[in-house]
Amino acid sequence: MPGPTDERLRDHLANERTLLAWLRTAIALMGFGVVVARFGIFLDAMAIGQGRPPGDGESSRWMGAALLLTGTLVGLLGAWRTRAHARAIDSGHPPGARSLVATTALVASLGLGLTLWILLMD
């Protein structure tokens, strides 16, 4: 029969897997940010290739930067949350959920911003 040490070890390992999920999400957001930032350069190159003046790729760079920043914050929040859970596993008191609400609000704001950007593009 497993003892408290085995249960605690399982909890810590599950906590580490959760951190990896946070980091995968952060990397995906950052990778998408690079794609969006470079998309403006691609559109400018296409316009020049078709003999049209290049557009303003500035908005793509800002949206890409917003995604990169969001990815960075999600990674940092995931690490902070994982550390809080590690302490909670050892103490037996669950951590609060404010960081989850903050992360959800950040990603939702970014989603709304990207939606507006797509709708308002020329």
Contact between 35 and 81 under an 8 Å Cβ cutoff? The reply is no
Has residue 30 been placed in a domain? yes
Q: Tell me the residue length of the chain.
A: 122
The residue segments making up the domain with residue 106 are 24-120
Has residue 111 been placed in a domain? yes
Has residue 14 been placed in a domain? no
Per-residue HEC secondary structure of 66-83 comes to HHHHHHHHHHHHHHHHHH
DSSP per-residue letters across 76-108: HHHHHHHHHHHHHHHHS-PPPSHHHHHHHHHHH
pLDDT value of residue 17: 92
**Percentage above 70 pLDDT, the chain:** 93
State how many domains the chain has. Answer: 1
pLDDT tens for 53-94 read 777 667 788 888 888 998 999 999 889 888 888 888 888 777
Query: pTM here?
Result: 0.70
Has residue 17 been placed in a domain? no
d(CA 101, CA 103) in angstroms, rounded, equals 5
End-to-end CA distance of the chain: 65
Has residue 3 been placed in a domain? no
pLDDT value of residue 100: 76
d(CA 48, CA 40) in angstroms, rounded, equals 12
pLDDT value of residue 112: 86
